[in-house]
Structure 1
Amino acid sequence: MNQPQITVGILSGKEIEFSFPVKFSSSVGTEISGTQKVIYQDGKIHWQGKEYDELSFIPPQNAHAFFELKDVTIGINFHWERKEVQKFKGELKIIIEGEQLTAINVISIEEYLTSVISSEMSATASLELLKAHAVISRSWLLNKLRVENGEWRVTVQPDSAAHSPLSTLHSQYIKWYDHEAHRNFDVCADDHCQRYQGITRASTPQAIEAVTATRGEVLMYAGTICDARFSKCCGGAFEEFQNCWENVKHPYLTGQRDCKAENQLPDLTIEAEADKWIRTSPVSFCNTQDKKILSQVLNNYDQETADFYRWKVSYTQQELSTLIHQRSGIDFGQILDLIPIERGTSGRLVRLKIVGTLRTLIIGKELEIRRTLSASHLYSSAFIIDKEYEEKGHKEDKLPSRFILTGAGWGHGVGLCQIGAAVMGEQGYKYEEILSHYYPGSTLEKQYQ
């Protein structure tokens, strides 16, 4: 079976600027180089004085050929969001989506993976961690594709509840987010799917070796390629798939402790156990402040986040009520309480009740909670709530003056924990052992040569 070619959505806008240091062939029969600009106008792509429905630019048969895209946003809606000029190998395609243009990179999956493992983390991470990440990134993507006549094709999903509220009852708003939001390309280039920044960040020989050594390898469970999720730091306990996305249970994405020495995990779906767990700092692979390890896993902008295993956020009454109104579009009035309704296996909140003077509503799932309670995203939904009052007396009669969220982990916590896996790699675990720890019951299998 042949190696798949995939399409990656890089950026969208009314105008897109790009450049070719060497001559590329356009789909309209011309060879071009230098700086170019395409503009959306009246349902068409305007380029060099003409109109088009779609454009492609194909590189020469030169391993070093690349194109540049300007103003690529990375870390969309996260605390470290910024714009960059980025470089990409492969073909550049410009399409129309709605009333704007989208730039798409067409690239082989193995070239894509070399960039992903250098974009998701530092390419200086241990070889075993890089191998493990190459396998899970490949697995996650190929899980979204299907094979037809020996070729990989995108699996077109029907419109899913993943992009609309599961429940729009007056008392509940439950929503989750997944990659099926993309209809005109396989994956996007940001954290919504997998970070992909082309050759902007140089791939080390070790990153290239990791992809080459695992070429075609994926994780399998019961004859199916695994939906191999991963996040930055689980906080000491793994979350289960159904608590973050669609209500489907994957046996290889199960709740357990991120530790070999101590494998007993409290029942963190119980509020008292979650409270105790989050307020303490239990031993686990990802419980590390080792700068050498963290610098291998975290890119320069990720290192701006220092506290991720346990963290704290504090809001005044005014800050929180304004924030929730802005982020949800709902005026709750002043906030009386934040009440955990349902927790997952890692202590992450699946459903949270917001009680205001004007409105009460249960929201979920984990990302919706994180989006609602932060100007960007909370590090995770594994948090507990403390309230402060300005005056003594009966709390029932008073508005809280401050809400303090104490939390655990960074990200959804499902599947591989990048910080924990980095520690495992440094401790001498092989990539097969890392994968079996984070995806219990799965097996390795080669899908193509």
Structure 2
Amino acid sequence: MAVSALIRSVMTGVLAGSALVLGVVAAADPARAESIRVLVGQDVALLTVRSEGDVAVITETGDTKVLHPPLQVSARKEGLEVNGRHLSGGYILIRPVMSQLSLKMSKEEGQRSGNGGFTGSAQGAELSVSGALRILHKGRLLSVVNQLDLEEYVKGVVPSEVNSAWHPEMLKVQAVAARTYALYNKMLSGGREYDVVATTQDQVYRGRSGVDRRVEEAVESTRGIVVTYQRAPIYAAFSSTAAGPTEDAVNVWANKDLPYLKGVECPFDLDSPYYQWKANVKVEQLEQSLRRQGFSIGTVATITPILYSRAGRVARLRILHSNGETVLRGEDLRKAVGYTVIPSTQFEVESMGAEVVFTGYGAGHAVGLCQWGAKELAELGYSYDSILQYYYPGTELHQVASTQVLAPPTLPAP
């Protein structure tokens, strides 16, 4: 079957139900704003904060001082220091009086370049953010949390995860997925000091970097809309390139046997630059990487995939080495060697000598939304809601009241 015919075939059923789903989406209420707490920095020794106007510095005890930036924040054993002045308490809140905040973090005090524990930006970059900063005292180091409006956060995620020049419907897809993922994690954050992390551990967030008119329009036109299952926000997993059927979530995360994260056909991402790849890994490097992850590995002799998922990805592999035999998950190997080195678990071992040569397809865990597949569907004229419902089967789109936090649905034990 030709790809175009297959696309029409797999999408027909989804399109048939999309009008009913859109009918339950209520009008957004911009006056009621949901907030989100984003961990943008850990193990930071020195934080520099800039703003075009004054900022309010609020201590844990409620004392407020209005200061003119730049501010330099560091940690001492007994508390925090701002521009050399000691402030008592476990945290401070920095809120701009009028404009946005820019921040730079470093690992060593006195260092003025490098990102240190900066989780949300490239090396040496300054992060411009909306909202406020909560600076937490962690011994002699700092954790930095950006507290901001959920929709402003989504605007920062969209261009960090996909190219803002992509089709407008694809940008809407990414906006709704990012918003849904954030709300789901907020529901489960409990006593944590943050809801999401600004890296691929959750979803990439680089503040206002890359936010343009197209991103603004995609987020505003879907404001408050989330993907739901049993009327609760779903765990909206997404990754770059499936290169075949998407994966059942339980094969990647044992505790997430979710009905809406079952594999679907995805012949749509052939244009992805990550569709096919090859990786050369030195055997010595592989051995060291596995040992750092806690595996008792000797000198490696062979690496053999022994079990595949329904979608064709490596579920288990056997490593024969001088200390014996070790069986591990394909995802464990990716984590040890590096997610960018081995982009997916859809691989084979082509050859092995001083280096192991892996050949494979796709990038990411392949659970849920395939970004490059969604891009192609958007370009073919499919709407953002139909694309989302295809990749998250059995779901609906709803407008979530801004102050409402829903409980996740009760699911059978895996």
Superposition TM-score tier, normalisation by shorter sequence: 0.7 to 0.9
1:50 corresponds to: 86
1:37 aligns with 2:72: yes
1:355 corresponds to: 320
2:10 corresponds to: none
1:15 aligns with 2:26: no
- Using the alignment, how far apart are the partners of 1:137 and 1:375 within structure 2? 21
1:430 corresponds to: 383
What secondary structure is seen at the aligned counterpart in 2 of 1:22?
Answer: coil
1:387 corresponds to: 351
1:345 aligns with 2:353: no
Superposed counterparts of 1:48-447, under 5 Å: 48-52=84-88, 53-60=90-97, 62=98, 64-70=99-105, 71-72=114-115, 82-97=123-138, 99-146=140-187, 155-156=189-190, 183-201=192-210, 203-258=211-266, 284-288=267-271, 307-325=273-291, 327-330=292-295, 332-364=297-329, 366=331, 368-374=332-338, 377-388=341-352, 400-447=353-400
- Using the alignment, how far apart are the partners of 2:118 and 2:376 within structure 1? 24
Cα shift at 1:56: 0.8
Structure 2, unaligned runs of 5 or more? 1-28, 106-113, 403-414
From the superposition, tell whether residues 377 and 404 of structure 1 become closer, same or farther in structure 2 (CA, over 3 Å).
closer
- Using the alignment, how far apart are the partners of 2:295 and 2:80 within structure 1? 38
From the superposition, tell whether residues 214 and 235 of structure 1 become closer, same or farther in structure 2 (CA, over 3 Å).
same
Question: Partner letter of residue 206 of structure 2?
Answer: Q
Residues 21-41 of structure 1: per-residue CA shift (max 9 Å, x gap): 211111132212222211222
Contact preservation (8 Å) 2:368, 2:392: yes
What secondary structure is seen at the aligned counterpart in 2 of 1:84?
Answer: coil
Contact preservation (8 Å) 1:236, 1:287: no
Question: Partner letter of residue 91 of structure 1?
Answer: A
Residues 187-243 of structure 1: per-residue CA shift (max 9 Å, x gap): 111111111111122x22221111111111111112322111001111222011111
- Using the alignment, how far apart are the partners of 1:426 and 1:371 within structure 2? 33
After superposition, the CA RMSD in angstroms is 2.6
Contact preservation (8 Å) 1:233, 1:286: yes
Cα shift at 1:5: 1.0
- Using the alignment, how far apart are the partners of 2:117 and 2:310 within structure 1? 30
Question: Partner letter of residue 190 of structure 2?
Answer: V
Question: Partner letter of residue 110 of structure 1?
Answer: E
- Using the alignment, how far apart are the partners of 1:360 and 1:225 within structure 2? 42
* The 10-residue stretch of structure 1 (354-363 or 108-117) with the greater mean CA deviation from structure 2: 354-363
- Using the alignment, how far apart are the partners of 1:81 and 1:68 within structure 2? 13
From the superposition, tell whether residues 365 and 96 of structure 1 become closer, same or farther in structure 2 (CA, over 3 Å).
farther
- Using the alignment, how far apart are the partners of 2:317 and 2:200 within structure 1? 24
* TM-score normalised by L of structure 1: 0.73
- Using the alignment, how far apart are the partners of 1:242 and 1:87 within structure 2? 37
- Using the alignment, how far apart are the partners of 1:377 and 1:336 within structure 2? 20
Cα shift at 1:363: 2.1
* TM-score normalised by L of structure 2: 0.79
Question: Partner letter of residue 346 of structure 2?
Answer: A
From the superposition, tell whether residues 311 and 185 of structure 1 become closer, same or farther in structure 2 (CA, over 3 Å).
same
What secondary structure is seen at the aligned counterpart in 1 of 2:236?
Answer: coil
What secondary structure is seen at the aligned counterpart in 2 of 1:131?
Answer: helix
From the superposition, tell whether residues 220 and 323 of structure 1 become closer, same or farther in structure 2 (CA, over 3 Å).
closer
